[in-house]
Structure 1
Amino acid sequence: MNKKKMAITRMILSIFMMLMAILQVYYIYKPKIGPVGEGIDDRRVIWLFSLAMIASLSFLTESVYTLYRINRDKDDKK
Structure 2
Amino acid sequence: MKLSDSSFTFEEETSGSLGRGFRCGFLGMLHLEIITERLRREHYMDLIITQPTIIYHVKLKSGEEKVIYNPSLFPDYGDILSIEEP
Q: TM-score, normalised by structure 2?
A: 0.24
Structure showing greater radius of gyration is 1
Q: Between the two structures, name the one with larger relative contact order (CA 8 Å, sep ≥ 6).
A: 1
User: Which structure carries more strand by proportion?
Assistant: 2
